[in-house]
Amino acid sequence: MQDKKQLFEETINRHLNLVYKVASVYTTNADDKNDLVQDILYQAWKSFDSFRQESKISTWLYRVAMNVAIYQVKTRKRNIEAIPLTDQNSNLTEDNSNGTEEQWQRILFYINRLNLLDKGIVLLYLENKSHEEIAEITGLSVSNVGTKLSRIKEKLRQQVTKS
Instruction: Identify the pLDDT of residue 62.
Output: 92
Instruction: Identify the pLDDT of residue 15.
Output: 92
Residues 6 or more apart from 19 whose CB is under 8 A from it? 12, 37, 40, 41, 44, 61, 65
Instruction: Identify the pLDDT of residue 86.
Output: 40
Domain with CATH 1.10.10.10 in the chain: 86-163
Q: Which CATH number fits domain 86-163: 1.10.4160.10, 1.10.10.10, 1.10.3720.10, 1.10.3430.10?
A: 1.10.10.10
In the 3-class helix/strand/coil scheme, how is the chain assigned residue by residue?
A: CCCHHHHHHHHHHHHHHHHHHHHHHHCCCHHHHHHHHHHHHHHHHHHHHHCCCCCCHHHHHHHHHHHHHHHHHHHHHCCCCCCCCCCCCCHHHCCCCCHHHHHHHHHHHHHCCCCHHHHHHHHHHHCCCCHHHHHHHHCCCHHHHHHHHHHHHHHHHHHHHHC
Is CATH 1.10.1740.10 the classification given to domain 1-83? yes
Residue 78 banded pLDDT, cuts 50, 70, 90: low
Instruction: Identify the pLDDT of residue 134.
Output: 92
User: 116 to each of 48, 65, 113, 153, how far by Cα in Å?
Assistant: 24, 13, 9, 15
Q: How far apart are CA 51 and CA 43, in angstroms?
A: 12
Model pTM? 0.68
Percentage of residues in the chain with pLDDT exceeding 90?
39
pLDDT by residue (tens digit) across 2-50?
Answer: 688 898 999 899 999 999 999 988 888 899 999 999 999 999 999 998 8
Look at residues 37, 11, 42 and name the one whose alpha carbon lies nearest to residue 24: 37
Instruction: Identify the pLDDT of residue 51.
Output: 84
Query: What does pLDDT average to over the chain?
Result: 82
CB atoms within 10 A of CB 46: 10
Domain with CATH 1.10.1740.10 in the chain: 1-83
Least confident of 76-90, 93-107, 136-150: 76-90
Indicate whether 83 pLDDT > 60: no
